[in-house]
Structure 1
Amino acid sequence: MVPVRNILVARDLADASDAPLSFALACARQHGARIHIVYGALQPGDPDNVPPEAELPDEVFLETLRASTPVSTEELEIQFAVSRGVSPVQALLRYATDQQVDLIVTGSRNHSALRRLLGRSLSQQLARTAPCPVTIVREEARA
């Protein structure tokens, strides 16, 4: 079995489900791994092509990331991070490479059939291009 020392949890600030985080925490406990909870943000740039939130400083994203993540940092080694790139996928992949991540855990949303067909979901793009295994955790059913 390949050792798992670093687990990246791709966290979406707009709709953060706890299912991928719960899965990653269980894996980290089992393997004694470090958790990296990461938000892939867009690089600031041309205001015509980049949304205004890309201009926010990383500290704003980190504060939101910590506040929206229900986890005790006492039980495991947990690191919160913002990674910037031309796309969220590119930002997450760069972080995964730089930090020698052994496993990426991300959620799956109910996207339209066309979007799935075009392969434009973050989880699908990560699974196709990541330098390590990717686990896609289905979101919990909502009542």
Structure 2
Amino acid sequence: MDPLQSDETTFSRILFCTDFSENADFAFSFAVDAASRRPGCRLYLLHVIPESEAQFWKTYIYEVDDVDAKARHDVDERIEVYRSRLPEPIELNVEIRIGKDHQEILTFARDRQIDLIVMGRQGHGALQKALFGNVTEKVVRKADCAVLVVPLSYRERRAIP
């Protein structure tokens, strides 16, 4: 049996996780490529607002007019940039959650029966990983599906002939 035609390598639900960083923006093209090669595939975009940031903003909602609306507008603008990069038949299903990013990603992936998670990766030193952890590392270790981690450094390596 050809391994590429096996059910084990068929992705019908792809989750792209973004924090709207340059790393995530670069990884998005990999998620789109995977989805475009699989007709009928569902592509999800998940942005998790860390709970600590959400609490910070909530303290100002009553003091500053339209802070919540401004934040939502900024997120919507970033999502539209992603939508503009999609080929015609692919739809983007967007979800925004508040909480611990790796937990929200893993819960979403489990609840939606995601087959592939696509994430960008930023280079961090070993000490920073040991002290603060790393969302991507936690997702890779605990996910029940395939995870594609795209380092930003790949873009520079790919550009060199």
Alignment TM-score, normalising by the size of structure 1: 0.78
Aligned to 2:76: 63
Residues 65, 80 of structure 1: 8 Å contact kept: no
How far did residue 71 of structure 1 move?
Answer: 1.8
Residue 82 (1) aligns with residue 89 (2): no
AA aligned opposite 1:37: L
Unaligned runs of 5+ in 2: 1-5, 62-67
Residues 48, 96 of structure 2: 8 Å contact kept: yes
Residues 43, 91 of structure 2: 8 Å contact kept: yes
Distance of 2:30 and 2:141 partners within structure 1: 20
How far did residue 122 of structure 1 move?
Answer: 1.4
Residue 72 (1) aligns with residue 79 (2): no
Cα 1:129–1:118 shift into 2, 3 Å: farther
How far did residue 126 of structure 1 move?
Answer: 0.7
Matched residue SS, 1:81: strand
* Equivalent of residue 18 in structure 1, options 18, 21, 25: 25
How far did residue 72 of structure 1 move?
Answer: 2.9
Aligned to 1:41: 49
Unaligned runs of 5+ in 1: none
Distance of 1:114 and 1:121 partners within structure 2: 11
Matched residue SS, 1:13: coil
How far did residue 141 of structure 1 move?
Answer: 2.8
Segment of structure 1 superposing worse, 64-73 or 99-108: 64-73
Aligned to 2:139: 126
Distance of 2:137 and 2:79 partners within structure 1: 25
Segment of structure 1 superposing worse, 26-35 or 50-59: 50-59
Identity %: 24
How far did residue 61 of structure 1 move?
Answer: 6.4
Cα 1:114–1:53 shift into 2, 3 Å: farther
Distance of 2:33 and 2:145 partners within structure 1: 18
CA RMSD of aligned residues (A): 3.1
Residue 30 (1) aligns with residue 43 (2): no
Matched residue SS, 2:156: coil
Distance of 2:117 and 2:147 partners within structure 1: 5
Q: Which structure has the bigger radius of gyration?
A: 2
Residues 8, 103 of structure 1: 8 Å contact kept: yes
Question: What does the per-residue CA deviation read over 1:39-69, in whole Å, with 9 as the maximum and x for residues that have no partner?
Answer: 0123479x8xx44379847844641441442
